[in-house]
Chain A
Amino acid sequence: MSFPWANQYQPQHPLMKWLDEKLPMPRLVYNAIGGGYPVPRNLNYFWNFGVLAGAALAIQIITGIVLAMHYAANAGVAFDSVEHIMRDVNAGWFIRYAHMNGASMFFIVVYLHIFRGLYYGSYKAPREMVWLLGVVIFLLMMATAFMGYVLPWGQMSFWGAQVITGFFSAIPVVGEPVRVWLLGGFAPDNAALNRFFSLHYLLPFVIAGVIILHIWALHIPGSSNPTGIEVKDEQDTVPFHPYYTAKDGFGLGIFLLVFVALTFFVPNMLGHADNYIPANPLSTPAHIVPEWYFWPFYAILRAFTFNFLWIDAKLWGVIAMFAAIALLFFLPWLDSSPVKSSNYRPLYRKFFWLLVLDVFILGWCGMSPAEQPYVIMSQLASIYYFAHFLIILPIVSRIERPEPMPNSITEAVLAKHADAASAATA
């Protein structure tokens, strides 16, 4: 589906006409990310991050396939095979550091993409399905990243796998058998490493498939925009190509600059020193910490220290950590305000920025050792996290009086330019 004024694909070259009759692949691309997709004209730079997430996935798949040609998924040689890539494979150090930091770049752009959606209400009708599929992608990314971190078989790989698979043993009765079944043993070992490698190779392609659904679902209502007002007529939109391909091209340049700076200048900044020590089941690291993109959730996991009701603290932590992500599935129905963009939501806007701060505090606590003051900070920050989504947001969306909104995207754009012009002449 598209708007009635969308450009139509008109192949000129005989070959393209022939192809269009037999397999209209170019038509599909044209309508998806070409001149045939009308997009609101007022998107700001926060709308770059979807394309950048796609670019990050492509980089991960390409570097990952090359790494898999040289990596050996066997507990006896996995660590050395990674060092073989770093030392003896031509440009192997580059491919490996790019893959390592590419994972961080992927999460950076996806977190910005998610917070863009939270601020501008992109999860609201008619785009609930886009949001739901996005949360599925986020979950798949987390699983993929976790299993990828296990593969170098360093100390943090091993102990990370021990902690994460330990979540399952918190489940009453069946927990421990489930954990043993998932690991293929009583502790992470060769069986676990092999299946993690297999799944780590599979899941990115599943992510790519869900991304296609995500974009498909997006193209039915069309992209949202910073005003949150739906497209009304042709002058509200521009064709995706060349307008947004050009803007995304610039965005890609900035993304790659940051990526290159991380990969070549400080490749181990976001990693952990202990993962350069080979896995040793007999020696527990002083502080087991996950990768930075899991810190906020790790903080929530560890914040629960009290056996409340008939559920023990460990199970509370595991349930809360999964709930912290799962509640995102219900967001379109928790927030009943018809106004999408926080630009017109004076009250919600304040709580949004409080949430951003809260997630940073959770991240800081997740990185820090489990001692005071980090424990109480993580407990308070976890309270706000759940309160924000499950209590504050539904109430705010009831009582809030939105600010006056423009009638259309074009009106908002022209008003902004009139303001700028009068400010310039004044």
Chain B
Amino acid sequence: MVRPLGFLVGLGFIAALVLAILTTPLTNEPNASHEFHKHPKHLKLASDGLVPHWDKAQLQRGMQVYKEVCSACHSLNLVAFRNIQDLGYTEGQVKSFAKSYDNIPSINPDTGEPATRTGLPSDHFPAPYANEVAARAANNNALPPDLSLITKAREGGKDYIYSLLTGFQNPPANLPKELRPGTGLHYNPYFANLNLAMAPPLADGQVTYADGTKATVDQMASDVTAFLVWTAEPKLVKRVQVGWGAFIFLLIFSTLTYLSYRNIWADKEH
């Protein structure tokens, strides 16, 4: 009973699929933007690979770029001032860094009215806009995304962020009219639909690094990307280090269990 019924059910599915094949066009709708879209360039960072470390000087430079450039539009909601001790700042430096922010939302302790106060190490980086409506109103209806997780939240990760920051250019001459950037948009072949609401954020010499590093666009893009790799996963270096401990332990464990397995089965053909 099962087999004849199964046979009929199988024929039913196959008939539906054969008809589906016959009625589905074999060509895709042309998508001209594919041709102009570029794959991200590789960015090598100290935090890559199986023996990663944080390049603290670079992370500090990256934070400077975030603070002086990106933070005008992009929030960093998940990162607290206290976290930047990871970047090599002392407790005192963190306190004074937090204190340099005087716009932390608060309430007036006497009247209960909304107010602002200076930052504490436990505060998170304040957002540039009070809410999404304000953010869109200030950005031609585009919403600048929060950057805390951005290197994990995009296909291509850090390579994509770095490529996007360094990829602004004039549209190629053969770009079809419908793919050309409209008002308020900027051509960037690394962005999915080629035209990005964000204006090129970096220009040579835009920040002045305390350590004397020359602030080229490429340098600033690398630095801020390195910083955003850290904000996305502050435990990255520790994770890989702990991983090696666990891996080596398990190699020894597996060797011992293999030897005991061979020993126990020594007298038994199998």
A313 near B264 with CB under 8 A, answer no
Segment at the A interface, from B111-119, B209-217, B242-250: B242-250
A243 near B7 with CB under 8 A, answer no
Q: How close is B221's CB to chain A, nearest CB, in angstroms?
A: 20
| List of A residues within 8 angstroms of B265 by Cβ | 243, 246-247
Chain B CB within 8 A of A135 CB: no
* Complex Cα gap A233–B2 (Å): 35
Residue of B nearest to A413 (CB): B269
Give a binary string over B13-29; 1 marks a CB under 8 Å from any A CB, 0 the rest: 11111111101111110
A41 near B268 with CB under 8 A, answer yes
Chain A CB within 8 A of B258 CB: yes
Segment at the A interface, from B59-67, B101-109, B146-154: B146-154
Chain A CB within 8 A of B257 CB: yes
Given A276-B149, A334-B3, CB of A308 within 8 Å of CB of B28: no
A320 near B153 with CB under 8 A, answer no
B18 near A263 with CB under 8 A, answer no
B264 near A250 with CB under 8 A, answer no
Chief secondary structure at chain B's binding surface:
helix
| List of A residues within 8 angstroms of B6 by Cβ | 327, 330, 334, 389-391, 394
Contact of A304 among B16, B83, B234, B269 (CB under 8 A): B16
Contact of A246 among B3, B24, B233, B257 (CB under 8 A): B257
Contact of B10 among A305, A316, A373, A387 (CB under 8 A): A387
Q: How close is B23's CB to chain A, nearest CB, in angstroms?
A: 5
Chain A CB within 8 A of B50 CB: yes
A379 near B20 with CB under 8 A, answer yes
Chain B CB within 8 A of A277 CB: yes
Chain A CB within 8 A of B130 CB: no
Give a binary string over B53-88; 1 marks a CB under 8 Å from any A CB, 0 the rest: 000000000000000000000000010000100000
Given A94-B242, A273-B154, CB of A250 within 8 Å of CB of B235: no
Q: How close is B190's CB to chain A, nearest CB, in angstroms?
A: 15
Given A252-B257, A253-B257, A267-B239, CB of A242 within 8 Å of CB of B21: no
B153 near A246 with CB under 8 A, answer no
Segment at the B interface, from A7-15, A200-208, A254-262: A254-262
Given A41-B270, A264-B240, A334-B3, CB of A371 within 8 Å of CB of B250: no
* Complex Cα gap A80–B230 (Å): 17
Chain B CB within 8 A of A372 CB: yes
Chain A CB within 8 A of B192 CB: yes
B16 near A263 with CB under 8 A, answer no
Give a binary string over A342-385; 1 marks a CB under 8 Å from any B CB, 0 the rest: 00000000000000000000000000000111011001101100
A87 near B19 with CB under 8 A, answer no
* Complex Cα gap A379–B15 (Å): 11
* Complex Cα gap A379–B153 (Å): 32
| List of A residues within 8 angstroms of B260 by Cβ | 246, 249-250
State how many residues of chain A have any CB contact under 8 Å with chain B. 66
A93 near B24 with CB under 8 A, answer no
Contact of A257 among B19, B254, B264 (CB under 8 A): B254
Given A387-B14, A413-B269, A417-B269, CB of A253 within 8 Å of CB of B258: yes
A379 near B21 with CB under 8 A, answer yes
Given A273-B152, A273-B155, CB of A305 within 8 Å of CB of B247: no
A277 near B21 with CB under 8 A, answer no
A-B contact sample (13 more), CB < 8 A, given A246-B257, A264-B246, A386-B13? A41-B270, A253-B254, A257-B250, A260-B250, A264-B240, A264-B242, A264-B247, A308-B15, A308-B19, A323-B9, A334-B3, A414-B269, A417-B269
Give the 10 A-B residue pairs with the shortest CB-CB distance, closest first.
A264-B243, A390-B10, A253-B254, A276-B153, A306-B20, A249-B257, A333-B2, A250-B257, A308-B16, A246-B261
30 A-B residue pairings within 8 Å (CB atoms) = A41-B268, A86-B235, A87-B83, A93-B235, A243-B265, A253-B254, A253-B257, A257-B247, A260-B243, A261-B243, A264-B239, A265-B243, A267-B239, A273-B152, A286-B192, A304-B17, A306-B16, A306-B19, A308-B20, A334-B6, A372-B24, A372-B27, A379-B21, A382-B13, A383-B14, A386-B13, A391-B10, A413-B269, A413-B270, A414-B269
Residues of A within 8 A of B (CB): 41-43, 80, 83, 86-87, 93-94, 97, 238, 242-243, 246-247, 249-250, 252-254, 256-257, 260-261, 263-265, 267-268, 273-274, 276-277, 286, 303-306, 308, 313, 316, 320, 323, 327, 330, 333-334, 336, 371-373, 375-376, 379-380, 382-383, 386-387, 389-391, 394, 413-414, 417
